[in-house]
Amino acid sequence: MTIHVGIIGLSAGGGWAATAHLPYLQQSTKYTVTAVCNSSAAASKKAIEKYGLRSAKAFDDVKTMCTSQKVDLVVCAVAVFSHYELIKPAIESGKDVYVEWPLCATTKQAEEIHQLARENGVRTIVGLQGCVSHVQTTLEEIIKSGRIGSPLVTQISGSACTGETGTRLVERYQYFKDRDIDGVTGQVMLSIYIGHTFEPLAQLLGQPTDVSAQLKTTWPLVNIVTPDNRVLESDVHKTADDYASLQGTLISGVKYTYTMRGGDAFDDGEGLVWDIIGDKGQIRLDGSSIMLNLGAPDYRIRVKDYQSNRIETTRLHQHLDLPLAAQNIGKLYENFADGKDVPTFEDAIRRHNFLDAVFLSANKRGVQEYVPRR
């Protein structure tokens, strides 16, 4: 049965919904886009025309869209500040929901939305797509095979390799420069980036039980630029942290170290090194970027056997035949349609609570205990 999709935040001017969601949805036989909702009906119609969505109807109000019998799944692909108010009417209407990460601007809002979804019996997806990637499933297979024995320690270090974390900010992401934003818990930029890049580690090796965090603003001055990199403002002060160093213990007993920095890698292809060290061997994943949610075309996985001292390169599982940004998003949609595991609001609450502990640890300069939900 085809799943009818209503998208909130599909812009004719581009953006994440157009770049990461549409490539899969438009070629899938499992889904049909039947509604588009923006701040005005004119903007929704413009997007429908731009992307040739002949089956879609234009809306300017989420509540009205959710009364449609031709909408089964509501996809929320706008900035986090509006998630709570946009998701709530969809859930109350009994629609399944797909919400980009972070789930909400505060942990309290996220917990309320999660509870509401449970009460209304709707299925949920949160956009932590790195944990369903072909890289993740390859790592899972290696660990389950016993080739490295029991995992003991993991260390992941890398660069975000996106302009938004370095010395320039595209105008639409100006809020990334602020450490404190009214009505928001934590830091928006770090919540997005740490959430996306720590989730695969936690899903693979176990949820953290504690965290000791150090954060820093390494790029205190940034340029605000247009999408084509034309400078609008120079040397704008940034207070948001763009460096994070975390360490602690996972519920499995594995010790973890996680370091992410903003800006570009030292050189091409050197944006990520992730080691998983076992008692019989070791896995190393490397590539261009720590952003495992987005992926990179040059990821490489090697496995070392301690007894033979042999290192073998492992063939990665096949990814969907889609543009890079859409591959993992497409896999989320595939899993959801096929009744397979996807990251849910339950997973989002785990990440929200963990990030609360991260920011508290950094502020108090100490270890924060964290009680994970299994």
Structure tokens given for 307: 């007894």
For 268: left if phi > 0, alpha if psi spans -120 to 50, otherwise beta; the answer is: beta
pLDDT value at residue 371: 59
Of the three residues 122, 148, 169, the one that is the final residue of a domain is 122
Structure tokens given for 157: 């270090």
pLDDT value at residue 373: 55
pLDDT value at residue 237: 95
In a domain, 183, yes or no: yes
CB under 8 Å to 90, separation ≥6 — which residues?
62, 66, 74, 76, 97
The closest of 215, 233, 202 to 347, measured between CA atoms, is 202
Question: Are residues 153 and 117 both part of a single domain?
Answer: no
In a domain, 349, yes or no: yes
Question: Are residues 105 and 140 both part of a single domain?
Answer: no
Question: Are residues 156 and 272 both part of a single domain?
Answer: yes
Question: Are residues 157 and 302 both part of a single domain?
Answer: yes
Number of domains in the chain: 2
CB under 8 Å to 69, separation ≥6 — which residues?
none
Q: Using CA atoms, how far apart are residues 280 and 78, in angstroms rounded to an integer? A: 45
In a domain, 330, yes or no: no
The closest of 11, 32, 8 to 127, measured between CA atoms, is 8
Per DSSP (E only), the strands in the chain are 3-8, 31-37, 57-59, 73-76, 96-100, 124-127, 151-159, 168-170, 210-216, 221-225, 231-237, 243-249, 255-261, 272-278, 281-287, 300-305, 310-314, 367-369
Per-residue pLDDT of the chain (374 residues), as tens digits, is 899 999 999 999 999 999 999 999 999 999 999 999 999 999 999 999 999 999 999 999 999 999 999 999 999 999 999 999 999 999 999 999 999 999 999 999 999 999 999 999 999 999 999 999 999 999 999 999 999 999 999 999 999 988 788 889 988 889 999 999 988 988 999 999 999 999 999 999 999 999 999 999 999 999 999 988 899 999 999 999 999 999 999 999 999 999 999 999 999 999 999 999 999 999 999 999 999 999 999 999 999 999 999 999 999 999 999 999 999 999 999 999 999 999 999 999 999 999 999 999 999 887 777 656 55
Question: Are residues 297 and 148 both part of a single domain?
Answer: yes
Question: Are residues 317 and 212 both part of a single domain?
Answer: yes
Of the three residues 91, 122, 153, the one that is the final residue of a domain is 122
Q: Using CA atoms, how far apart are residues 255 and 155, in angstroms rounded to an integer? A: 8
Predicted model pTM: 0.95
Question: Are residues 139 and 118 both part of a single domain?
Answer: no
Of the three residues 122, 150, 174, the one that is the final residue of a domain is 122
Buried b or exposed e, range 92-114, using 16+ CB within 10 angstroms: ebebbbbbbbbbbbbbebbbebb
Helix (H) or strand (E) holding 339: none
In a domain, 106, yes or no: yes
Domain coverage including residue 249: 133-321+344-369
Question: Are residues 113 and 187 both part of a single domain?
Answer: no
- Say which CATH number the domain at 60 has: 3.40.50.720
In a domain, 339, yes or no: no
In a domain, 127, yes or no: no
User: Which CA distances in Å does 235 have to 33, 66, 177, 229, 310?
Assistant: 42, 44, 12, 15, 50
In a domain, 374, yes or no: no
Structure tokens given for 57: 């109807």
Tell me whether the omega of the peptide bond preceding residue 102 falls within 30 degrees of 0, making it cis: yes
Question: Are residues 180 and 248 both part of a single domain?
Answer: yes
- Say which CATH number the domain at 183 has: 3.30.360.10
At 43, which amino acid appears? A
Q: What is the DSSP letter of 18?
A: I
Q: What is the DSSP letter of 250?
A: B
